[in-house]
Amino acid sequence: MTLNWKQLVLVATLGSVALLGGAFVFQALGYAPCKMCYWQRYPHAVAILIGVVALALGRRWLAWLGALAALTTSGIGVFHSGVERDLWEGPSSCTGGSTAGLSTDDLMDQIMSAPLVRCDEIPWEMFGVTMANLNALISLALAVIWVIAARRAAA
């Protein structure tokens, strides 16, 4: 069975609904999101809006924007995954840093302004897969679905 562009857009849109909803469920269960977790949510919200508008108005070209939104959150998820695994440094506003060379006043300022949730700590994982990993992978799959929808719309 071959899906048409509307069905593909619906699948991609519902995928973002599921991922965003899952993030809110984890948050309700006590897993507070870090700054980069929030960054990953915004493109999903945009993809949902794009999907709704594309379906409601029949604007097939919007599937390309949906793909861009899904690729954006996937990219942020890859970056966040690397920060979690100490492959590279994340934003200083949500990761741990060295205290070498800081005065007591500087250290106190850093402690008092530190966020409650760090981006470089893994709050949940299953079989070595974190929430950021899942977002990166599933969002990449959603981007592929959006691209297929866009190509079907153009045909």
Query: Distance (Å, rounded) from C-alpha 28 to C-alpha 22?
Result: 10
Query: Distance (Å, rounded) from C-alpha 114 to C-alpha 66?
Result: 35
Q: What is the pTM assigned to this prediction?
A: 0.83
**pLDDT by residue (tens digit) across 23-76?**
999 999 999 999 999 999 999 999 999 999 999 999 999 999 999 999 999 999
**pLDDT by residue (tens digit) across 96-147?**
555 556 567 766 666 666 546 788 888 888 999 999 999 999 999 999 999 9
Domain range for 127: 5-154
The CATH code of the domain that includes 67 is 1.20.1550
Q: What is the tally of structural domains in the chain?
A: 1
Residue with tokens 């500087």, as numbered in its chain: 106
